[in-house]
Amino acid sequence: MSRENQAVGAPPALRVEGLHVDIALPHGTLHAVRNLSFSLPRGEALGIVGESGSGKSMTALALMGLLPPNANRRAGAMQVGGRDLLAMSDKQIAQDIAGRRMAMVFQEPMNSLNPVYTIGRQLTETMLLHGGTSQAAATERAIYLLDKVGIPDAHSRLHQYPHQLSGGQRQRVMIAMALMNEPDLIIADEPTTALDVTVQAQILRLLSDLQREFGMAMILITHDLGIVSRTVDRIAVMYAGELVETGSVQDVLRGPQHPYTRGLLDCVPGAKRETGRRLGSIPGLVPSLIGEIRGCAFANRCSRAGEACYTAPPPLNATDDGTHAYRCVLPASWSRSSADMHLGELREAAAVQQSTTEQKPQAVLSAREVSCSFVVQHSVFAKPRRLHAVDGVSLELMRGEVLALVGESGCGKTTLAKILLGLLTADRGQMLLDGRDLAGVPALERTRRIQPVFQDPYSSLNPRKTIGETVMRPLEIHRIGTRAQQQRRAEEMLDLVQMPLRLFHSYPGQISGGQRQRVAIARALVTEPAVLICDEPTSALDVSVQSQILNLLSDLRDQLGLTYLIITHDLSVVEHMATRVAVMYLGQIVEISDKDALFAARRHPYTRALLRSLLKMLPGVPVPDPSVGSGFPNPLEIPAGCRFHPRCPEAEQRCGRELPELGPDQVRCLLYDARNPRWTNDPIPA
């Protein structure tokens, strides 16, 4: 059933007017959502985009009636399929609306299924709970939907427990569960954030397909502009609890009107195929949502803010045809005048990159045939099994380069990083630092040369130590300089990472996530290391903060001549930062190549699958099929032959028998042939 078949004048799937969500906190009232109005026609998909704290999740919870007890919801109108939610009691909503007319898919598939019940019971329960259905009919529908969401052998899966499924499969079950009662509206809150990239593409594709097939309306909440550009019809951009811009995907992403939307788009790495350029960034912080904001909420970060922006709330402007609305004083044409300004200035010192590659490159840190395995024993009586986390990895980190290590979760990239940092000892293999065997280098000397930057800025700083103490600590450990010298050096480092010195005596709890990450970088750099090993340095940060940190890392590399190993699953970060890429799968390196070569032509089938899963901002282009098996790599059960062959779309019979080697082309694939045009002349589809 398609959209056109709907009767004209039928009520929209969802209409919200003047929605406010206030949260009572001990020191004031936090206005999480302020005066939000939108309507969603049947069968349409709306993407709500915003950074953390923008109120997008609160909006979803308010719609579902799942707000925390200290939150208060007010609205002018809230209608689902023409039925007024405000006129209904909580009990009525729970019976007739929630889970029935609208359903929700949550972010964490690990936590949203109850581990003690079979998935069959959890699926049928959602239907039986509302009454009027027999067990047999519910079971039949459960099997039908499991099949629909791409879970093979659905009938026998009903008796399985959540822990027997992979993360991607659990999210599929969650989607099936949301569809059990044939809802008119499905709300997906960051449905793929916790998943690997290939699985993310599969799940998003599935969601879009099902949404069209069942003619449902969908609200997709995400912080990822690439995802919305590929899955929804309309976009709503939220900032500080307000809707700042709304319109069709094409209009908003191609011609953003609100300065915030423009800023956000400039922050996305890899959106424009221009490396060597700085990413745009949005200076400043989101204003406190406690108390009233008199003018425009974005005024304090907006480069074009005038006096009026601080005093009066901005008007709701619309472009010519009226479908594209934004809340800003600027006229609709302002952006056209400066169309290409937002590409960002060319990075001045990009020359560093060239000069170091022209000289004979020297390996700073290299791993030779490094292996590391753990013994896993699930219970006292179970047979202990060996988990080969890293298996015969050879890697050279050249001076001045940015090597990206890419792979899905469980592929051993974090273990490899720990070995390189000296936090884990390899079972086999040799590590060289500046050509010297690392086993013979004293620990303190090694730690001065190689330093880590972590993913989670909230756990990487000791909450009981001030910023200054944290940055000075490495100098104390290494007994460098007097107390006064250490303090001066720490101040220099904070200055280098653009941290205001007045925060020297602050505790980590008093600063933002981006600032914490800056402090973590300052701590890593204070002993003047040659190599930084960054484990997902930006994936826990908001888009606008992520771009600031990536810019900072680029600048520091140019200033200090650092060498980076960046571990990430985010290919857009790779595209922006890296000079060389190593792809890892199940403990092995499957491909090493220059970044440009990697993005230019297909090489290893797994790399290709990863690249196809990369959701660039391309409005209107549907989510691609990564064409890779959905089975997740399990390091406890390593397949015979090529490790990737069970998921490989190109696999032939011999792939299950023979072991591929990392050949002279640096591609671990039996089928790869550099001279065959089938492999080299096939650019990655956009």
Partner 1 sequence: MQVMRRRMRSHKGFLIGAGILLVLILIAALAPWIAPYDPLETKLVARLLPPAWEQGGRWEYLLGTDHLGRDYLSRLLYGSRISLAIGFGAASLGCLIGVTLGVCAGYFGGRIDQAVNYILTCQLALPGLLLTMALVFLIGPSLLVVVCVIGGLHWTYYLVVTRSATMQIRRLDYVTAAQAIGSTPLQIILYEVLPNVRNQIIVIFTLEVGIAILAEAALSFLGVGIQPPTPSWGLMIAEGKTAMFYRPWLVVLPGLAIFLLVIATNLMGDGLRDVTAPEGRN
Note the residues at the interface with partner 1 (CB under 8 A): 421-423, 443-444, 446-448, 450-452, 454-456, 459-465, 473-474, 477-478, 520, 523-524, 527
Rounded to 5°, angle at Cα 15 from 13 and 19: 140
Token readout for 526 is 């204070």
Nearer to partner 1, 185 or 372 (CB): 372
- Largest Cα–Cα separation, the chain: 79
Residues sharing a CB contact under 8 Å with residue 347, sequence separation 6 or more, in sequence order: 276, 277, 278, 554, 558
The β-bridge relationship of strands 185-189 and 217-222 is parallel
Min dist CB 469 to partner 1, Å, is 9
Q: Residue 39 is inside which H or E element, if any?
A: strand 28-40
Nearer to partner 1, 38 or 454 (CB): 454
Candidates 172, 108, 109, 178; CA nearest to 146 is 172
Which tokens is 588 given? 């092995």
Q: How far, in Å, CA of 514 to CA of 551, rounded?
A: 12
Give the nearer residue to partner 1 in terms of CB position, either 421 or 638. 421
> CA angle, corner 289, sides to 288 and 292, nearest 5?
105
- Under 8 Å between Cβ of 203 and 631: no
CA-wise closest residue to 275 among 360, 362, 364, 354 = 354
CB of 122 to partner 1, least distance (A): 30
Give least dist CB 190 to partner 1, A: 23
Nearer to partner 1, 174 or 532 (CB): 532
Q: Alpha-carbon distance 46 to 40, whole Å?
A: 7
Closer to partner 1 at the Cβ: 363 or 480?
480
Report the SS3 class of residue 10: coil
Question: In a 10 Å sphere around its CB, with 0-12 CB exposed, 13-18 middle and 19+ buried, how is residue 684 labelled?
Answer: middle
Q: Smaller CB distance to partner 1: residue 427 or 456?
A: 456
Based on CB atoms, which residue is closest to partner 1, 455 or 607? Answer: 455
Instruction: Return the H-helix or E-strand segment holding 457.
Output: none
Closest CB to partner 1 among 214 and 507?
507
Shortest reach from residue 69's CB to partner 1, in Å: 12
**Smallest distance from partner 1 to CB 462, Å:** 5
CB of 658 to partner 1, least distance (A): 39
Structure letter (DSSP) for residue 621: P
Beta bridge partner(s), residue 367 = 395, 431
Helix 197-214 with 605-613: angle, nearest 10 deg: 50
Torsion sign (Cα): 432, 434, 436, 439: negative
Nearer to partner 1, 457 or 660 (CB): 457
Q: How far is 204 from 405, CA to CA, in rounded Å?
A: 25
Least distance from partner 1 to the Cβ atom of residue 293, Å: 24
Residue 602 Cβ, how far from partner 1 at the closest point, in Å? 36
Report the C-alpha gap between 101 and 109 in whole angstroms.
22
- Rounded to a whole number of angstroms, the minimum distance from the CB of residue 449 to partner 1 is 11
Q: Which residues of 250-264 are buried (b: 16+ CB within 10 A; e: fewer)?
A: ebbbebbbbbbbbbb
Q: Give the nearest distance from C-beta 457 to partner 1 in angstroms.
A: 9
Q: Which one, of 197, 162, 151, lies nearest residue 628 by Cα?
A: 197
Instruction: State which residue, 273 or 464, has the beta carbon closest to partner 1.
Output: 464
Strand arrangement, sheet containing 428-433: 385-398, 363-376, 428-433, 436-437
Between 12 and 452, whose beta carbon lies closer to partner 1?
A: 452
Q: Are the CB atoms for 664 and 585 separated by under 8 Å?
A: no
In terms of CB distance, is 352 or 522 closer to partner 1? 522
Q: Which is nearer to partner 1, 91 or 464 (CB)?
A: 464
**DSSP type of residue 185:** E
**Nearest distance in Å: CB 241, partner 1:** 20
d(CA 641, CA 647): 13
